[in-house]
Structures are given as C-alpha cells and as structure tokens.
Structure 1
C-alpha cells in the first residue's frame, strides 16, 4: 500500500536543486512527514479504539445491543479523531495553501497570499498553552489587514526535535508561495 506522506521528504532529498519537485501540482500535498508525536498520538488512539471495539463485541455477545451500539459509535469517533489528527498540517497545491486543523480547514488561494515567511517568536509547545521561543511560518493574506496565520511552528507535534525538517518544510512552503504569487 503506497503511503504518499512518506514520499515528501524523499522527493525533496532526491531533487534538492528543484524547489518544487512534484509532478502533479494540482494535487494537495503536505511538504513534510507527520512528526513522531503526531503519529504516536494517533497510534495510541487507534489502540484505544481497538479495545473499545473489542468491548463492543463482548457486550453484543452478552445480549445488550444498545450498549454495544454506543461502544461501536464511540470507537468510530475515536478512529475518526485519529485520522483527523494525521491529516492536520499545512498542505500546498497549484490552487493555494491549505491549513488543516482538528476542527477546521482554511484554504487561501495564491491570489490572496501576500507573503509566507519564517519568524522568531514565542510558539506553543506541542499545541499546549505553554510557550517557548521558537520559529514559526507565518501566512499574511492580502485582504486581511495585518492578520497573520501561523502555519507551522518548530515546537509542534510535527517538528519538535526535528529542526532540519522544520527548516525544509518552511522553505518549501515559502518557495511555493513565491512561485505562485509571482504568477498572479
């Protein structure tokens, strides 16, 4: 089974001279691999879902179908949460820049992107309220007066302890923004 999220870093390694090494630019791509903390959290959620599904089967065999249904629905919600957790991040394509969060997805067409740049600022550590000094990739849109959206941070679940991966991902998103902003 092909895992397309694993090819992002390999494609960048193989084509270091080409800033945008992807053949099909119309397809949404995450220009980095999900980090170990994100993958670990999703794996733990899927493990929990397997236990809940097993409990649902045991409850169904015992004869209480309504409780088994509730457990089954809970397991499906846990699985959906794990999958959504893996989809979170910044995605790029020829159509624009997409920031996928747990509860929201925001897409900015390249025509509306004023700049995407890396800045030093306090960032949230693993998405928690605690902040530490780090780097962030900031998106500034043309139609929003001074509003900035943080796309990536060096201390997120994708890049904590992976400074080189953050630099590569931020540079890739900046190159996509520069190329498509120059066209529009």
Structure 2
C-alpha cells in the first residue's frame, strides 16, 4: 500500500501539498493519531476472553445445554462489542467538526461552535482512573454551553508511554481547528 505522505526516507513530506492538512477526503471522520499500546492491549485481551467464551459456548452446546450456550454466546458478543468500541474511543476530526467518542457516549461539535482548542498543563486522569497526575491536556472550548472534558491527555491509553505522539496529535487537532474555524 503506497503511503503518499511519506518520502523514501520515511520522513513527512512537507512539500507534498501547500495545505496544512493534505487529506483528499476532508469530510470523512478520521482519528489524527494511532491508538496507543494500552488501548490495543486492552482490546486484545477482551477479544482473547471472547474467544475462550466462544469455545465454552461450543462445549456447552455440544453437551446439550441450549439455554446456557445462548447466554454464553450473548456474553461473548457483548465482550466483542466492548473490544471494538474500546478501539474507537478517542478524538475524531473532519471538516465538519470534532467528535469525542467515549465508551458509551459520543459528543460532536461543529467547528463553528468551537471558540478555542488549546493545550494546557493541569492534573489529568491516569489511564482514565480516578487517580490524577500532573500532565498536559488538549481542551476544546465551545462558544456556548459547558466545556467538554479534556479531549486528549498525555496520560490516557493512547499516549501514556508516547509523549511525542501526544504533541503531534494535539498539533494536528489544533491545525484542523485553525483551518476549519476560518470565516
């Protein structure tokens, strides 16, 4: 698969386009960063658990317990849905706006409803748990209404062991905001 945005050396090609965001389909929702190792590992473990549950469903069904097999199959399907949703959690951007996808909810703001996107130093949750540590957070401030929870933090499942990736992702989201909030 050719990667047109990379040069032969593997460095970003700044001369490929004059636009700061050289995407062909700007209307498509895209995540401006790769899912982190913690998020991928959590989803992989959930899928491994689902595989064991599906094997147990098969064994229970062969033993003649149709109702128990159906319950086990339903729980395995829920674990698979959880793993897939876990991989979609994060920030998605398009020319239409910014979307914050959570495990059970999604918040979408159009760019005209966003007053500022900025990176700040503040206490942030460590891997989404109640424990907080000092870190960086990308905040989206809407023109009206209450502020969103931090969109990205350098201690979430995508950036915990990758500080440079947080800076790149924050810059890309700020670039999308600057490009699309123009009158």
Q: TM-score, normalised by structure 1?
A: 0.90
Give, in whole Å, the separation in 2 of the partners of 1:16 and 1:60.
58
Instruction: Give the Å deviation of 1:10.
Output: 6.3
Q: 1:158 Cα deviation (Å)?
A: 0.0
8 Å Cα contact 1:19/1:172 also seen in 2: no
Q: Which has the higher helix share?
A: 1
The corresponding residue for 1:49 is 50
Q: Hey, what's the Cα distance between the residues in 1 that align with 2:132 and 2:174?
A: 24
**Counterpart in the other structure of 2:149:** 149
- Specify the alignment match of 1:30 in structure 2: 31
8 Å contact kept, 1:136–1:152: yes
Indicate conservation of the 8 Å contact 1:56/1:72, yes or no. yes
Question: Does 1:129 find its partner at 2:145?
Answer: no
Mapping of residues 34-113 of structure 1, within 5 Å: 34-113=35-114
Task: Give the 3-state SS of the residue equivalent to 1:98 in structure 2.
Answer: strand
CA RMSD of aligned residues (A): 2.0
| Matches of 1:24 and 1:72, distance apart in 2 | 39
Query: How has the CA–CA distance of structure 1 residues 158 and 99 changed in structure 2, closer, same or farther, with 3 Å as cutoff?
Result: same
Would the alpha carbon gap of residues 16 and 153 (structure 1) be closer, same or farther in structure 2, given more than 3 Å must change?
Answer: farther
Gaps in structure 1 of 5+ consecutive residues:
none
Question: Displacement, 1:144?
Answer: 1.6
Contact residue 140 and residue 149 of structure 1 kept, 8 A: no
Secondary structure at the aligned position of 1:67 is classed as: helix
Aligned residue for 2:151, secondary structure, equals strand
Cα distance change, pair 15–25 in 1 and its aligned pair in 2 (3 A) = farther
Asked if structure 2 preserves the Cα contact closer than 8 Å seen for 1:15 and 1:21, the reply is no
Equivalent residue for 1:118? 119
In 2 relative to 1, CA 10–96 (structure 1 residues): closer, same or farther, beyond 3 Å?
farther
Report the alpha carbon displacement of residue 22 of structure 1 after superposing the two structures with TM.
Answer: 1.5
> What corresponds to 2:12 in structure 1?
14
Instruction: Report the CA distance between 1:131 and its aligned residue.
Output: 0.5
